[in-house]
Structure 1
Amino acid sequence: MAFIKRSERKSRKPPEFEDLTTPEDLIALAEKKGLETNPVSVSELASELGISVRFEPMPDDDSGSLKKERKTGNWIMTVNSLHHPHRQRFTIAHEIAHRIRHAANSDSFEDKTFFRNGESNWMEAEANQFAAALLMPEKYFNYFIENESSTVEDVAKYFQVSSMAVRIRAKNLGYEGHNL
């Protein structure tokens, strides 16, 4: 048996979700794990990322939160159970974005209607864009509009998001017009 220096040993680092940085990376992970991706199952994806999701009644302006437990290091997401299921999906995607993109900056995120009141910061804006891209991937969004329907209501129903989320995503992807 030969001695091998540790620096010379080839290590195969298992792919961890910390290496994932984009919505496309997460869609690829979901596909690899056999999860639904069109539309994406964000609850199952959160679970695959090691995030426990809880649904609890919260004040109406609270959409959700993401916190790292001090004792265990586990991430716990809380979603407002009183909100519409489409809004809950966006909240889950938004909190996943915080875990993937911002966990190095904070161990706790509290989201109040995603800063729709005009107050925002770069992390919230990025989490919203990330969530929209995760829930409505560009290739699926374009395909649906070109082959199924271009009405806001149909797109929202298909991707299980709000009509406002569809309008913002469409604008960010370069669409214009009354229907989109």
Structure 2
Amino acid sequence: MAFISNKGNKNLDTYNKKTIDEIYNHAENLGIETQPFDIFAYISNIPEIDYWEDYFDDDISGKIEYRTSGIYQIVVNKYHSVSRKRFTLAHEFAHFVLHKDFLKQGNKLEDIILFRSSNDTGNKKELEANQFAADLLMPKIIFDTEIKKGNNKINSLADFFQVSSAAIKYRAFKLGYLKEY
């Protein structure tokens, strides 16, 4: 089991970034690669998050849970591809940024089959986390630039952003580049 612990790194301030721009600026200040965004390195710099990979059934991508110690545990499916793990980690991180109060009330969020159903309306928190993760890993301005440069093949964009083809299709649909998803 891969495990990254931040408990010993108490010299960092409590995490308070709320927007994609703040996160990108913070990452750049930490010397973390932002193109593509290195979500693994970024998470390892947040003292409130413990991240690791574990074995789940294939239909479970990951989960986030608040512990009474003040640490948020994010666990991602070890069986999934790196591109899928990147999106799942960004999605769980989105819950950390957007839904801290909900998690602190003792709720845990487990994500099942991200980006597999075009009819999935999901619940509001899951949709918000998906959108945030997409914005973080595939920023609109960079996505638009790649399309304008002629990089308009799904697999090529997936390689560029280091996400799954399904994530690219969803993002392209949300940005108006595809008529249906």
Identity of aligned residues (%): 35
Give yes or no for the alignment of 1:59 onto 2:57.
yes
Alpha-carbon distance between aligned partners in 2 of 1:148 and 1:103, rounded to the nearest angstrom = 39
Give the direction of change, closer, same or farther, for the CA distance of 1:120–1:176 in structure 2 (3 Å limit). closer
Describe how 1:64-143 pairs up with structure 2 within 5 A. Answer: 64-70=62-68, 72-107=69-104, 108-114=108-114, 116=116, 118=120, 120-143=122-145
Aligned to 1:35: 32
Please tell me whether the aligned partners of residues 38 and 140 of structure 1 are also in contact (alpha carbons under 8 angstroms): no
- SS of aligned partner of 2:101: coil
- Listed as ranges, the gaps of 5+ residues in structure 1 are 1-13
Seen in structure 2, the aligned counterparts of structure 1 residues 176 and 58 have a Cα distance that, compared at 3 Å, is closer
2: distance between equivalents of 1:66 and 1:133? 19
- Which residue pairs with 2:174 in the alignment? 172
The verdict on how the C-alpha distance between 1:74 and 1:173 changes in structure 2, with shifts beyond 3 A counting, is same
Q: Of 146, 162, 167, which residue of structure 2 is paired with 1:144?
A: 146
> How many pairs were matched up?
164
RMSD between aligned residues: 2.2
Distance 1:143-1:79 versus aligned 2 partners, 3 A rule: same
Compare CA radii of gyration and give the structure with the larger one.
1
Residue number among 18, 22, 28 corresponding to 1:21 in the alignment: 18
Contact 2:91/2:130, CA 8 A, preserved across alignment: yes
Can you give the 5+ residue segments of structure 2 that lack an aligned partner in the other structure? 1-11
Residue-by-residue CA offset, 1:94-142 (whole Å, 9 max, x unaligned): 0000000001112422111238453611000000000011010112212
- Deviation of 1:88 (Å): 0.5
What is the TM-score with the length of structure 2 in the denominator? Answer: 0.82
Cα 1:103–1:86 change in 2 (3 A) is same
